[in-house]
A and B are shown apart, each in its own frame.
Chain A
Amino acid sequence: MQPFGEFEPAPPAPLTEHVVEVAAIPVRQEEAGADYEVTLQSLNQWQLAWRKFKKHRLALIGLGILSFLLATAVIGPFLLPYDFGTIPVPDQIVYQGRPPGIGHLFGETGGLQRDVLTLVVNGARLSLIIGFSSMLIGVFIGTIVGAIAGFLGGWLDNVLMRVVDVMLSLPLLFVILVASRFFGNGSALLLILIFGFFSWMGVARLVRSLFLSLREQEFVEAARAVGASNMRTIFRHILPNAVSPIVIVASLIVAGNIISEAFVSFLGFGVDASTPTWGNILSNALTFIPLGNWWWPFFAGFAIILTVLSVNFIGDGLRDALDPRSRA
């Protein structure tokens, strides 16, 4: 065996940083004599976070894409030449759709000959509404449960956390499928409630752990000494300090629930099949895929990927921006 045979030196990356710093010094020295004013502007927590967030390129791209999708979902249906609600039933039912072309940018579906672009844009509404509002419900329940468990502690904490354990050990997608099948009846509102009800456990664990450490801090003691009630201490003093981690988890929940909606609709347990959501579009297109009608499912699938990807990017950016330990 050769003693120094395959030794690889460490990459020289750190060196360049030093070079840059050295090069910067003379510039400062030249400026030292000049007259200049220093204005200090204090930034609050969110301005600081936005500053760091802006440096995260992927997160900015994600934010751009997501804003575009949201805008499409809100105003898109008004701009399109075809109205989803009043499409006439065609004279003849065709089995082959038409590929993308002028007039139908995303192509036409087989069967009822619908414009795929119209379907996908209309689908964006429900898919995004379901993703975001179920997240709000989940975060709301999770924050309250976690805050109570972490702040009050004791037997209540024990009971609540065991409930979380049990619910986390359930195969949730199965449970969601069952619940949507038996309670759902194709209503979007119920789907939102179901998703919301099954996405609070992670938040509860997180908020509890944050409260456990925050409640021991001096400002909480101070608030108590002034005579703040439990409610006031929880909501005015502790919760604002726990917001950033909650926001990060919330972004993950949105992505997860948009996928879950598509998943549940895809299996035929979601919103009524004639209503366009991205999952429903995929599900309706299933039998036409062997005919080569790729454009029908493709754009809905692409929209899901784009949404989830941009939400994940934003989550990454938020993590960097809101974590006080990372300095940008």
Chain B
Amino acid sequence: MTKYIIRRLLAAIPVLFGLSIILFAFIHLLPGDPAVALLGQHATPELTAEIRAQLGLDQPLWQQYLAYLGQLLHGDLGKSIITNRPIIDEFLLRFPGTVELTVGALIFAVGLGIPLGRYAARHVQGFGDGMVTVISLLGISIPIFVLGLTLQYIFAVQLKWLPASGRLDPRIAIEYHTNFVLIDTLLDGNIPAFFNGLSHLILPAIALGSIPLAIITRITRASVLDVTNEDYVRTARAKGLSERRVGGRHIMRNAWLPVVTVIGLQVGGLLAGAVITETIFSWNGVGRWTVQAIQDHDYFVVQSIILIFALIFLVVNLVVDIGYAFINPRIRYA
């Protein structure tokens, strides 16, 4: 097991290396000049040259790349052109918002998707199964922003049941420790603010979670159906175990594997979907920041966000692969 983890980590190195090259090339291929983006159109040539020297843009490309790589290895992502603050600080300020949203969406998707999938599998070919199939097909086909706008229009604009945007009512002041609204309010014992934050989370989490919900439902259904016809399930039933016990210990235990894989695969999509969800619901997170940075031509911020998200994606994949071994002891990694 340890051997396997080490090998996987080693295999990630060339990918990371390639990633840094591609990102570096990509940012340098982009038309425009970071120095101009920083100073605006009307800067004097002298000033532009000075800033270029400061940013190291006047050196040959390979030296710039080595400098970039050296920075990365020290965990230094550089500074934002716009705010001139370290990117890592800005990122840590906004990342909790995105995590809160993503986790909310995942809880919604898993919490609803697995029971729905199991229900559909138990009543296969029946009316309920058909409904679940149609819902999950719709879920895959509705783009996040269409669903998000619809939810916002119905539940926030028309019915006024839930807030339309933001992470917290602007009239509520809370103290930030971790930048997670839900955690910070709980730490301070501020229950009304906690529920206010929770009510802000509901609509965006549903919008973002709809696609994973559809996929998880389909996979759970298929995977439970696969296992249901196994001999050991019949044996379990024959020896008189309760349906509950058969479902939990014999079916689900074996049906988990594909479900977990798919949940892991959703993380990449969730992070991309967060961009649009955060924009619609004015949610202060990395996604909105990304859109802003792209609009502002903030090269280094864009570069760093893409790098960090790619890293998260790789780590999640690794964790999922390792997680298999715990869920299914039959898998042995050499």
Q: Is the CB–CB distance between A8 and B306 below 8 Å?
A: no
B215 at the interface (CB under 8 A from A): no
Q: Is the CB–CB distance between A304 and B309 below 8 Å?
A: no
Report which of B125, B141, B291 forms a contact with A13, defined as CB distance below 8 A: B125
**A contact residues around B14 at 8 Å (CB):** 162
Q: Is the CB–CB distance between B15 and A178 below 8 Å?
A: no
Q: Is the CB–CB distance between B157 and A289 below 8 Å?
A: yes
**Please, which residue of chain A has its CB at the minimum distance from the CB of B234?**
A10
Q: Is the CB–CB distance between B137 and A174 below 8 Å?
A: no
A154 at the interface (CB under 8 A from B): no
Question: Closest CB-CB distance, B231 to chain A, in whole Å?
Answer: 13
**Please, which residue of chain A has its CB at the minimum distance from the CB of B290?**
A174
Distance A170 CA – B138 CA, assembled complex (angstroms): 27
**A contact residues around B18 at 8 Å (CB):** 162-163, 165-166
Distance A145 CA – B69 CA, assembled complex (angstroms): 29
**Please, which residue of chain B has its CB at the minimum distance from the CB of A297?**
B149
Distance A178 CA – B302 CA, assembled complex (angstroms): 8
Distance A70 CA – B291 CA, assembled complex (angstroms): 32
What band does the interface of chain A fall in when counting residues whose beta carbon is under 8 Å from B? 35 or more
**B contact residues around A5 at 8 Å (CB):** 240, 242
Q: Is the interface of A mostly helix, strand, loop or mixed?
A: helix
Distance A304 CA – B290 CA, assembled complex (angstroms): 25
**A contact residues around B237 at 8 Å (CB):** 7-8
B327 at the interface (CB under 8 A from A): no
Q: Is the CB–CB distance between A282 and B146 below 8 Å?
A: yes
Q: Is the CB–CB distance between B276 and A267 below 8 Å?
A: yes
| A–B complex contacts, Cβ < 8 Å, 29 sampled | A2-B240, A8-B237, A8-B243, A166-B18, A167-B22, A170-B22, A171-B306, A173-B275, A174-B275, A174-B306, A175-B26, A177-B294, A178-B306, A181-B295, A259-B143, A263-B144, A263-B145, A282-B145, A286-B149, A289-B152, A290-B157, A292-B158, A297-B146, A301-B143, A301-B146, A304-B146, A305-B138, A308-B141, A308-B143
- Listed in ascending order, the chain B residues whose CB lies under 8 Å from chain A are 14-15, 18-19, 22, 26, 30-32, 125, 137-138, 140-146, 149-150, 152-153, 157-158, 237, 240, 242-244, 268, 271-272, 275-276, 279, 290-291, 294-295, 297, 302, 305-306, 309-310, 313-314
